Structure 1
């Protein structure tokens, strides 16, 4: 039990019983100086590792890590580090506490969807606009031309180590992956025109096309929304 100038709760109760013998003045507490009394200071303990939270589900632990990144236990990241969700960090703020990370794995051969449909709010190109683009497309609830679900729907349902806040990068968020991390090594032997080496961005060009990027050569492209390209989901932290 912590004490205030040596007086415990129990002793205060005892003093009330013997009020005739002892008088406690409010001023005694107002003049209390914790520095002078050298009481121990509170220190937040930053627990690390999944083993520190054995009772949490993956989703609860992911939420804990996300919240901690905005508090005293925030971790500073550098480009190339493994991110909170297990992907690769490729863009960071000046202090390294916030940025973007890729998913650990890619999604292959999926359509953008929404062919012949203009999507208001999905034309953002800059870093920071991928989330809005993705949400705008999802609200349209579009179908594909060749069957199956759109890449956007797959990303919406993606759960990686408990993290479910993934989205499709905007044009410049996608280009930044290539600029920061270089050509993906597992694509170096791919044919130059192989569709799996072209990746969707969430940036729509018009009713028929969206912007894509070749992750081996660094070449930009306008891709027909019905084409089946690859996806590399990202998340913000």
Structure 2
């Protein structure tokens, strides 16, 4: 390759449907050169290899993409939709561990240079659910979980199609007024808005903003109910909280989450200066606000 490359992974997350678990993983990254400069509006070639057992294990899946970075050097794609001879739906996520190897050709070709490998520590729960039926004998109702249940440190506000996996929010606010940023208007490229995206957003924010007390770090450092994998929800995850266990009252449960009437921070950025917020009043308005504002925070976790 003509020059060295840095490839900063910002987020892995399952793109979930409210009706069923799809066979894909959303992926977001920023491409930079060896000097740390963002490669804006540049055609790049990408190759992803999912290996089973170890970073040099057998190839369970491999695919390639050719795409152009945006102004911020960002690429967004869905693993499971690239050019491949494999079948993504045949990956048995219950038979891990799995590692993902990322390789890039910054000229847009196929002379890929491996940038690194990392373990999929938390196998996307929606995907795992499609291969876990044998654990509960195929009777998914055996989980006996419902939205609104108190479970694993908080309140269930979302369940996937299996009825055994979903999202939990803390039973009370972690703050009634805290800033989104750590006194620095800088983008973490945390633009993921969908279900499952808050985890990657939170990691990116903390890595960018550093140590301190602010919305994302407050959630990531939270230990509650014996669990320490909490994070700041994406804007759509906030929407589900509002609709299912908040003032939206879509399921007729009422505001069992005990939310405040004013706005809550999401982990989803709008731009370098602003991030998305959601009010928990009857209308449930969503808007973007400056990151130095003091707003409410409610942490969530996946199970």
TM over 0.5: same fold? yes
- Alpha-carbon separation, structure 2, partners of 1:175 and 1:93: 16
- Alpha-carbon separation, structure 1, partners of 2:172 and 2:259: 13
Larger helix proportion of the pair = 1
Deviation at 1:105?
Answer: 1.4
Q: 1:187 to 1:235 in 2, by over 3 A?
A: closer
> Is the CA contact (8 Å cut-off) linking 2:179 and 2:295 kept in structure 1?
yes
Matched, 1:182 2:246: yes
The residue that corresponds to 1:126 in the other structure is: 194
The residue that corresponds to 2:166 in the other structure is: 99
- Alpha-carbon separation, structure 1, partners of 2:219 and 2:177: 13
Unaligned runs of 5+ residues in structure 2 are 1-128, 248-254
- Alpha-carbon separation, structure 2, partners of 1:175 and 1:79: 14
- Alpha-carbon separation, structure 2, partners of 1:187 and 1:103: 11
The residue that corresponds to 1:200 in the other structure is: 265
> Taking structure 2 as the reference length, what is the TM-score of the superposition?
0.48
The residue that corresponds to 1:149 in the other structure is: 213
- Alpha-carbon separation, structure 2, partners of 1:228 and 1:163: 26
Q: 2:295 aligns with which of 205, 225, 229?
A: 229
Unaligned runs of 5+ residues in structure 1 are 1-68, 191-196
Deviations 1:129-188 (A, max 9, x none): 111100110111347xxxx61111111211112100000110101001111123147557
> Taking structure 1 as the reference length, what is the TM-score of the superposition?
0.60
- Alpha-carbon separation, structure 2, partners of 1:99 and 1:72: 16
Classify the secondary structure of the residue corresponding to 2:181.
Answer: coil
CA RMSD of aligned residues (A): 2.4
> Is the CA contact (8 Å cut-off) linking 1:76 and 1:95 kept in structure 2?
no
Q: 1:187 to 1:163 in 2, by over 3 A?
A: closer
Radius of gyration: which is bigger?
Answer: 1
Q: Greater RCO between the two (CA within 8 Å, min separation 6)?
A: 1
- Alpha-carbon separation, structure 2, partners of 1:231 and 1:98: 23
Any runs of at least 4 consecutive aligned residues in structure 1 with deviations exceeding 6 A, and if so which? none
